[in-house]
Structures are given as C-alpha cells and as structure tokens.
Structure 1
Amino acid sequence: MVRALLILLPLALTLYTFVDCAMRDDSQIKKIPKWGWLLAILFLQPFGGIVYLFIGRNRGPKGPKPGKKRILPPDDDPDFLRSL
C-alpha cells in the first residue's frame, strides 16, 4: 500500500501540474516561459511540479480581467434584447 502511494502521488502531481501549466495562458505564468515549466515538470519529477505550484503560476482572481466587458449570450444581453 505504501509502495503504491509512493508511486502514484508523484505521478498524479506531475500529471496535474503538467496539464495545469499547458492549459494556462502565457500571461498567467511567471518567471520562465511555459515550455520551460513544462520541461521542468516532466524532467524534475516531483520537484518541478512543486516549484511550479508555488512559484510559476499566478493565483489571482478567477473572474474576467478588470476593464474587460464580460461576453453574454444574446438571450442574456440586455443591449441585444433592447435592439429587437
């Protein structure tokens, strides 16, 4: 049981951090380029993933960026409905 955890936990951490890094926009990644983090996560298991989690990504608010208008579908957009 312990042997399985020693194998599965680093594998799960590597998989999670690799997918998280690959899905993020370049503006949400700090310090080094995205391709550098992806290589670090793959080749420095599990330390690359741990470093990425603490240093390599922005953990800001998850909503739309300030100053950008949220895109609404036409049936929820009051301006579109007024124009009908």
Structure 2
Amino acid sequence: MSDDESVETPPVKPVLRVVKGDLTPEELAALVAVIAARNAAAAHAAARVAKRPRSEWGHPARLVRTPHRFGLDQWRRSAWG
C-alpha cells in the first residue's frame, strides 16, 4: 500500500447527538460532564453491590441438612448440623 492510498474506516455512530436547539461549546461540555458523572456513579454503585457478601440464609446447601436425631439433649445439637 502506498502513502497516497487512504484506509477507509466504517463510520462511527455518535454516542450523543443534539437533536434540537443550539448549544454553545460550554453547554455541550456541561452536558457531557453530567452524563459521564451519572454513568460513573451507576458503575460505582453496581460494583459496590457486586462486592457485598452473599447471605447464607438462602444458600442451597441449607436444603441438604442432615435429619434431626432423637435422643437426650439432641435439641441442643440440632443446630450444629
């Protein structure tokens, strides 16, 4: 390929498009900053939820417990599995 030939790239779809109105560059920058901050806050909140430890109350292993044995003091040991 020589230097004269240009490589064509497919057109990129814009992430944000102003449909109505006439924005100044400062207003457009403020709009982009607000949207970026909102997306960052949502990603941060999703990351915090993902790191939360899972509750053991709903764990499937609780369904596979050994049956209770009858006898003296077994009511105390019934919670130990």
TM-score relative to the length of structure 1: 0.27
Which structure has the larger Rg over C-alpha atoms? 2
Higher relative contact order (CA 8 A, sep 6+): 1
In terms of fraction of residues, the more helix-rich structure is 1
